[in-house]
Amino acid sequence: MVGMSESDVVTVRGLRKVYGDRVVVDGLDLDVPAGEVVGLIGANGAGKTTTVECIQGLRRPDGGTVRVLGLDPVRQADQLRPRLGSQLQDSALPDRLRVGEAISLFAARGARDGDELLAQFGLAQRRRSAFGGLSGGERQRLFLVLALLNRPRLVILDELTQGLDPSARRDVWAAIGQLRDEGTTVLLVTHEMDEAEALCDRVVAMRGGRVLDGGPPAQLVARHAGWATVEFGWPAAGVGQLTADLRGLPGVEDISCAAGRLRVHGQRQVIARVGAELVRRGQIPDDLTVTLPNLESALLGLLAAAEPGGGPSPRPTATPDAHHELNGAAR
């Protein structure tokens, strides 16, 4: 049996899942500490959903060991089920089922007060409403209520905010924040990097059924997207000398000038070094801006480095199209 720390709710070692001749999860290791929100991130086809299905006992692993709260989710499913709450990508309820009826249907002995949970997640006024009449955000909040109803020690959420408008997403984020504040352990599968950055204590980046790297979002950004870009306007008469001086600064990798704006790109230290040079000259531009990478930048770098023949993680410039590039990376 896999050794499990008292602080770990989920321990996975060497997980392998194969469909025909296609390896979907390949020797994956994963730990989910108690009381944390841990996110699985990666491009489509990375094996994230299959991993959480194995953790829930919905799929039987072809290799490796999975323990959830010290139990085998396949052989000890009856013992585990009352301790686990989940919402999967294909979660749905009959359109005519009323919210209050869903609470009664899912509540087990010793369940939490359903009305109290509905009020906590802003659904108290919708108790008599049919599921088919709820908005997307209301449906997802109801799934959270149902997932929490029986006092689970672990909640698994798969693409919880997919297809929601920005306002509904924020409502659901706030609900997950409540779970964290209450000490509930959450395993979250998401394609949304801003969501992972906002909600997760740690993230695990996957590709091809394997773990590429893991840790707090800020650490992944520092390791795999340690760049920065400084931009500012500068008079044309002095831009040549300034450019020459900036090129000599440690950490500067590229300088360009367009439409009267100078763009300095390089390692994170360029922020301080460019600022110090401008202070030394006694000219601080009013339009100075700094662009820093985010978790999406780090994941794109990780995925690029993991490609056959890929080198060190690149330092891409953040663009509005980065999200589309990420979602299409596995297609």
Whether the predicted pLDDT of 195 surpasses 50: yes
Least confident of 22-26, 170-174, 296-300: 170-174
pTM: 0.81
Higher pLDDT, 319 or 161: 161
Q: Report, as an integer, the average pLDDT of 35-62.
A: 94
Q: How sure is the predictor about 310, in pLDDT bands with cuts at 50, 70 and 90? A: low
| Closest by Cα among 46, 62, 17, 52 to 209 | 46
Q: How many other C-beta atoms lie within 10 A of the C-beta of residue 113?
A: 12
- Evaluate whether 48 touches 189 at the Cβ level (below 8 Å): yes
Q: How sure is the predictor about 181, in pLDDT bands with cuts at 50, 70 and 90? A: confident
Question: Which pLDDT score is estimated for 227?
Answer: 94
Look-up: residue for tokens 């692993």? 61
Least confident of 131-135, 200-204, 318-322: 318-322
Q: Which domains does the chain have, with CATH numbers?
A: 8-222 (3.40.50.300), 227-291 (3.30.70.100)
Whether the predicted pLDDT of 34 surpasses 50: yes
Q: How sure is the predictor about 89, in pLDDT bands with cuts at 50, 70 and 90? A: low
Q: How far apart are CA 184 and CA 37, in angstroms?
A: 8
Whether the predicted pLDDT of 55 surpasses 90: yes
The widest CA-to-CA distance across the chain, in whole angstroms, is 78
| Closest by Cα among 177, 149, 152, 151 to 160 | 177
Whether the predicted pLDDT of 3 surpasses 60: no
Whether the predicted pLDDT of 276 surpasses 50: yes
Q: How far apart are CA 196 and CA 66, in angstroms?
A: 24
Q: How many other C-beta atoms lie within 10 A of the C-beta of residue 236?
A: 8
| Closest by Cα among 283, 281, 239, 284 to 263 | 239
Q: How sure is the predictor about 160, in pLDDT bands with cuts at 50, 70 and 90? A: confident
Q: Report, as an integer, the average pLDDT of 142-163.
A: 88
| Closest by Cα among 145, 122, 125, 130 to 99 | 130
Percent of the chain past pLDDT 70, that is, above it, reads: 90
201-246: per-residue pLDDT in tens? 999 999 999 999 999 999 999 999 999 999 999 998 889 999 999 9
